[in-house]
Amino acid sequence: MHHPAELQPERSRLIRKLQSVADLSPDEQRAVFSLPMVVKTMAADQDIIRVGDRPSDCCLVVEGFVCRYDLMSEGKRQILSFHISGDIPDLQSLFLEVMDHSLCTLTPCKLAFVPHDSLRALLRAHPGLAAAFWRDTLIEAAVSREWMVGLGHRAADQRAAHLLCEMLVRLKAVGEAREHAYELPLTQAELGDALGLSIAHVNRTLQDLRAGGLIELRRGTLAILDWDGLKRLAEFDPTYLHLRDKAVAA
Amino acid sequence: MHHPAELQPERSRLIRKLQSVADLSPDEQRAVFSLPMVVKTMAADQDIIRVGDRPSDCCLVVEGFVCRYDLMSEGKRQILSFHISGDIPDLQSLFLEVMDHSLCTLTPCKLAFVPHDSLRALLRAHPGLAAAFWRDTLIEAAVSREWMVGLGHRAADQRAAHLLCEMLVRLKAVGEAREHAYELPLTQAELGDALGLSIAHVNRTLQDLRAGGLIELRRGTLAILDWDGLKRLAEFDPTYLHLRDKAVAA
DNA sequence: CGATACGTTGACGGAAATCAACCCCGGTGG
DNA sequence: CCACCGGGGTTGATTTCCGTCAACGTATCG
């Protein structure tokens, strides 16, 4: 039986992502191709799962931007991570019954839902895949730590610059970015919720980056004009993303 | 062959910790008891592993406080997590070759080093243990996210209060705390590096908490005088720690 | 006993929050 | 067709939390 990639866009996104993180054997790739999944499209700003839910599926992002977030009293929102094509942001629900944060779409999205049972069977049958997924959750944890460093100790412009660097490298790793440009369909309010900054200050910060000739950001498209300058400002070192292909980090 | 717990303090700390997170069968416990490990004592403020290292062992904390940290330019330090008896703070090195942060002792410590090979063999032979360890790494990630919320959006006193709540629950889960008191042998500088605050402000913040009748903190011993008040201030909800024994979270 | 590390306190400054307009643009409907 | 609306972006004035700096207190230890 054949599973040509062009007929299996969901599964091939997942494989492309896993390949950026670990080395999959042909056998393992085939196993991923036979994972059952239900594809669903969602509008922007819709919750996928909420705090307290006990999901029985995992959600694979096929197209669009998704984020984890947590709400606090007084309506403040902290965005905990951004997720792109190939990510499974709630993989943790395989092992932690109840969600300790929510998941929502930031743009219109194509999502694919995989039953926990099928995933568990896959991991049991293919230890190499289990290792790859585990590795991926560890990388996500590393990204969280890097964000902590930013929130704790970096100034606003460094923090923003670091996020822009990170997204470029991650998007390139799954082939969703050009050399020094990519689609970043986020509002300044969303950036602020991720960076721990007010809307007003995000605005001023982005203008500083523009004024410094580092970036251009209009209508959801980011162009990095001075990659070295941006990296230097952010003190960006992609090691923490633990990507397999070192070329990507150039 | 018998392995009485009192003769195997290192392994029993590990088991106690894993039991707080997952349910181990007698067989799995026995397997953990036969893990080879080399015990080592270290003074306070010593690096265990550094950024860039490629360790071939994992480090189990038997006694003492350990932290992960990352340094920035201008000597700023962000503490990324605290680790206590039973934790394996560098378990990730099983899957991520190169360290993206450092690990150091905060107090004199007893540490036990387990070769990667032995751990890998253990996980291969006991899928239930693999699940328990995976679950534990996911919980650590959840703790990081909770810290992100604090660093991004909580005021200094809430942030400090939240940390104190978290440490109580974690220490109680492994039997290292009394009802509302525990040893917290951290300097204000270390608290500041974790909370993203300057030394001066940590001092003021702790005095606010004292003045509010919430805590008493002297010579490394913390007494929580008003647990409900502290939880309320911190908006502390222990769900994110995903502990098995709900009683602990009271 | 002085050395050193940790804790405490105050004065001052700055980065970012808050509050409040205002602009621009695409969509919608009368 | 234009008026209106709402979401997103921009800007300025003011405030506040927290950092920085500097001094001083206090305890532990060789």
Tokens coding A114? 């995989």
Nucleotide nearest to A207 in CA–C1' terms: D10
Measured at the CA of A234, the angle between CA B99 and CA B95, to 5 degrees, comes to 20
Of chain B, the percentage scoring pLDDT greater than 90 comes to 91
CB B89 within 8 A of CB B65: no
Distance CA B24, CA B9 (A): 18
Is the pLDDT at A215 greater than 80? The verdict is yes
Distance CA A160, CA A184 (A): 13
The reply to whether A105 Cβ lies less than 7 angstroms from strand D is no
The reply to whether B200 Cβ lies less than 7 angstroms from strand C is yes
The residue that leads in pLDDT, A239 or A219, is A239
Helix (H) or strand (E) holding A28: helix A26-33
Q: How far is CA A147 from CA A88, A152, A160, B44, in A?
A: 19, 8, 11, 27
Which residues of B make CB contacts under 8 Å with A? 68, 70, 72-73, 76, 78, 80, 92, 95-96, 98, 100-101, 124, 127, 130-131, 134-135, 137-142, 144-149, 151-154, 195-196, 235, 239-240, 242
pLDDT at B5: 61
- 3-state secondary structure (DSSP) of residue B107: coil
pLDDT at B246: 56
B1 pLDDT band, cuts 50/70/90, is low
Is the pLDDT at A42 greater than 70? The verdict is yes
Is the pLDDT at A247 greater than 70? The verdict is no
B152 pLDDT band, cuts 50/70/90, is very high
The residue that leads in pLDDT, B38 or B75, is B38
Average pLDDT over residues B188-203: 97
Q: What's the mean per-residue pLDDT of chain A?
A: 94
Which residues of A make CB contacts under 8 Å with B? 68, 70, 72-73, 76, 78, 80, 92, 95-96, 98, 100-101, 124, 127, 130-131, 134-135, 137-142, 144-149, 151-154, 195-196, 235, 239-240, 242
Task: Render pLDDT for A67-114 as a digit per residue (tens, 0 to 9).
Answer: 999 999 888 999 999 999 999 999 999 999 999 999 999 999 999 999
The residue that leads in pLDDT, B248 or B73, is B73
Cβ contacts (< 8 Å) between A147 and chain B: which residues?
148
Mutate to test the interface with B, among A69, A148, A193 (most CBs of B within 10 A): A148
Helices (H), A74-226: 116-125, 127-153, 156-173, 188-195, 199-211
Quickly give B22 CA vs D24 C1' distance in Å: 51
- CB under 8 Å to B37, separation ≥6 — which residues? B10, B11, B60, B112, B113, B114
The pairs formed by A86-89 with CB atoms below 8 angstroms and a separation of 24 or more are A86/A13, A86/A14, A86/A16, A86/A17, A86/A18, A86/A20, A86/A60, A86/A61, A86/A174, A87/A17, A87/A60, A87/A61, A88/A14, A88/A58, A88/A59, A88/A60, A88/A61, A88/A114, A88/A133, A88/A136, A89/A59, A89/A61
Cβ contacts (< 8 Å) between A137 and chain B: which residues?
134, 137-138, 141
Distance between B125 CA and the closest CA of chain A, angstroms? 11
Is the pLDDT at A13 greater than 90? The verdict is yes
Quickly give A200 CA vs C22 C1' distance in Å: 14
Average pLDDT over residues B156-166: 97
pLDDT at A245: 73
A5 pLDDT band, cuts 50/70/90, is low
The residue that leads in pLDDT, A165 or B245, is A165
CB B96 within 8 A of CB B58: no
Q: Which residue of A has its CA nearest to B79?
A: A149
CB B128 within 8 A of CB B24: yes
Cβ neighbourhood burial of B90 (10 Å; 0-12, 13-18, 19+)? buried
Cβ contacts (< 8 Å) between A78 and chain B: which residues?
148-149, 152-153
Is the pLDDT at B172 greater than 90? The verdict is yes
Inter-chain CB proximity A152 and B149 less than 8 Å: no
Quickly give A75 CA vs C14 C1' distance in Å: 27
Is the pLDDT at A161 greater than 80? The verdict is yes
Considering only the beta carbons, identify the residue of B72, B80, B135 that sits closest to A145. B80
pLDDT at A250: 55
The reply to whether A207 Cβ lies less than 7 angstroms from strand D is yes
Distance CA B177, CA A231 (A): 44
Helix A116-125 vs helix A26-33: crossing angle, to nearest 10: 160
Q: What's the mean per-residue pLDDT of chain B?
A: 94
φ/ψ of residue A14, rounded to 5 = -65, -45
Nucleotide nearest to A158 in CA–C1' terms: C15
Q: What b/e sequence results for A34-46 when a residue is b if at least 16 CB atoms lie within 10 Å of its CB, and e otherwise?
A: ebebeeeebeeee
Among A4-8, A130-134, B139-143, B157-161, name the one with the lowest average pLDDT: A4-8
DSSP state of B20: T
Considering only the beta carbons, identify the residue of A73, A76, A142 that sits closest to B100. A142
**Cα end-to-end distance, chain A, whole Å:** 39
pLDDT at A1: 53
Of chain A, the percentage scoring pLDDT greater than 90 comes to 91
Quickly give A236 CA vs C9 C1' distance in Å: 38
Quickly give A201 CA vs C20 C1' distance in Å: 15
Distance CA B192, CA B205 (A): 10
- CB under 8 Å to A135, separation ≥6 — which residues? A21, A22, A242, B95, B96
DSSP state of A90: T
Distance CA B70, CA B102 (A): 6
Helix (H) or strand (E) holding B42: strand B38-42
Distance CA A3, CA A165 (A): 35
Distance CA A19, CA A15 (A): 6
Inter-chain CB proximity A149 and B70 less than 8 Å: yes
B6 pLDDT band, cuts 50/70/90, is low
Left, alpha or beta for A105 (phi > 0: left; psi -120 to 50: alpha)? beta
- Protein-covered nucleotides of chain D (CB closer than 7 Å) are 7-13, 17-22, 28
CB A25 within 8 A of CB A125: no
Q: Which residue of A has its CA nearest to B147?
A: A148
Tokens coding A147? 């964000």
Considering only the beta carbons, identify the residue of A78, A130, A137 that sits closest to B148. A78
Is the pLDDT at B2 greater than 80? The verdict is no
Based on DSSP, count helices (H) and strands (E) in chain A, helices before strands: 8, 10
Residue type, position A129, single letter: L
The residue that leads in pLDDT, B213 or B73, is B213
Task: Render pLDDT for A122-160 as a digit per residue (tens, 0 to 9).
Answer: 999 999 999 999 999 999 999 999 999 999 999 999 999
CB A87 within 8 A of CB A81: no
pLDDT at A246: 55
Task: Render pLDDT for A79-90 as a digit per residue (tens, 0 to 9).
Answer: 999 999 999 999
Of chain B, the percentage scoring pLDDT greater than 70 comes to 95
Q: Which residue of A has its CA nearest to B194?
A: A152
The reply to whether A187 Cβ lies less than 7 angstroms from strand D is yes
Helices (H), B92-245: 116-125, 127-153, 156-173, 188-195, 199-211, 227-234
The reply to whether A56 Cβ lies less than 7 angstroms from strand D is no
